[in-house]
Amino acid sequence: MKWLQAAVMAVLVSGCGGATSLSLSVRAGAPRTGAQAQLVQRLEVASGVNIDRVRILIRNLELESLEGRDDSEDDDEEIEAGPFLVDLSGAALAGDVQKVLEADVPAGRYRKVKFKIDTLEDNETSLDASFDALRENQASVLIEGTVDGEAFSFAAELDVEQEFEADIGLESGAGNLTLNVDPTGWFVAADGSRLDPRLSESRAKILENVKHSLDVVEDHDRDGEDDAHESAD
């Protein structure tokens, strides 16, 4: 099974001045910097908790032009794509960077990356079977694995919009953004104790941890490291 599938992509290109190619990649694991960027990490989560598969429904991804104005909605969506399903299992949980979609966008500089995680609407019935499990569970996040050897399935409705300030240069040549999904702290409470995904009292904190575990970096060489950090080294 594919670990990620992009579906029903709508690419909205505005402006002029030429186009360039932008890809979106995904990786799982803690963010990597420096020499770590060349290593494939083993995914480790809370003691006794193992993750076999992660699915997250991203409703849409947007880029905002550097020339846009905060008070002008017309400038907010230079490109929009989605929904697409982050589906991580097997080797894909080991930290490899995988390209998941590609689109033509206006050449230039972009100042914000936005993406929204949410459940499917009732009228969204044309998506393929890879979305069925999330639809049946009325969930935007579905995590499967084991706790102390016992299987668990954590399905939840997470409705959140993430926004990242950036200075992304796409003036010439192909560019890439990498979405980093870091499950290493999902099942760990603030005091370091384990959050059991089978317990209802753990749900709110696990979802908060999922929300804060996502990040987007400019990663044109697709090594999993923020290009800004590489330039500073």
pLDDT tens per residue, range 22-78 = 888 888 876 655 444 443 444 557 789 999 999 999 888 888 887 654 544 444 445
Which region holds residue 210: left if phi is over 0, alpha if psi is between -120 and 50, else beta? alpha
pLDDT (tens digit per residue) in 15-26? 445 777 888 888
Please list, in sequence order, all residues whose beta carbon lies within 8 angstroms of the beta carbon of residue 168, skipping any fewer than 6 positions away. Answer: 63, 109, 110, 111, 113, 175, 177, 218
Domain ranges of the chain: 4-232
Average pLDDT, the chain: 78
| Sequence-distant (≥ 6) Cβ neighbours of residue 9 within 8 angstroms | 81, 82, 84, 101, 103
The predicted pLDDT at position 78 comes to 55
Residue 168 has pLDDT above 50, yes or no: yes
Residue 204 phi/psi, 5-degree rounding, is -60, -40
Give the three-class secondary structure for 225. coil
- 69 three-class SS: coil
Alpha carbon distance 53, 181 (integer Å): 13
Q: Is the pLDDT of residue 11 over 60?
A: no
**What six digits make up the tokens of 167?**
């200075």
d(CA 212, CA 206): 10
Residues counted in the chain: 233
Please tell me the pTM assigned to this model: 0.78
